[in-house]
Amino acid sequence: MRYLLLPAALSLLPSASGAQEQGSDQLFSVYFEPLKGGEFTRLNKAIQDALAEPPFQLDAKAGAWTVIVSVPEKIGVQHKSAGGAVYTFTIVFSRDGSSLGQSHQSCSSDKLSDCTDQIVLDVKSAAAPR
């Protein structure tokens, strides 16, 4: 179950379609603050890999106009009896100290794409010009 909470979410729709009309070659500068803890190595890599693909440019550090993707709160981990785990967490999006919104993620360790696919969509929405 995932939720995307963005300020004035409905007003993003014209902006998002306008960004598509400008062309698909527009890159969004993104910085991902890696998750802390050894058990999140695969999840970190999956998120970094997803944010390194166009239309994103994954930066080594945050700069002006960079969308910062972070997980400021503890990640919930529910271990499954058959092995693996389910991760539940909130991703926060910001730029230049201003909040762009947040989304709630939940995915299994054997299907991290459930989280990364949604994160990609959420970053696109958060990064869209307003």
**What pLDDT tens digit does each residue of the chain (130 aa) get?**
444 454 433 333 333 333 333 345 678 999 999 999 889 999 999 999 999 999 999 999 999 889 999 999 999 999 988 889 999 999 999 999 999 999 999 999 999 999 999 999 999 999 887 7
- In this structure, which topology does domain 3-9+26-127 adopt according to CATH? Double Stranded RNA Binding Domain (3.30.160)
**What is the predicted pLDDT for the residue at 19?**
38
Q: Which of 92, 75, 78 shows the shortest CA–CA distance to 38?
A: 75
Predicted confidence at residue 25, as pLDDT, reads 64
Spatial contact of 49 and 42, defined as CB atoms under 8 Å apart: no
Contacts of 19 (CB under 8 A, 6+ apart): 26, 128, 129
Give Cβ neighbours of residue 54 (< 8 Å, ≥ 6 apart).
Answer: 24, 25, 27
Task: Supply the pTM of this predicted model.
Answer: 0.78
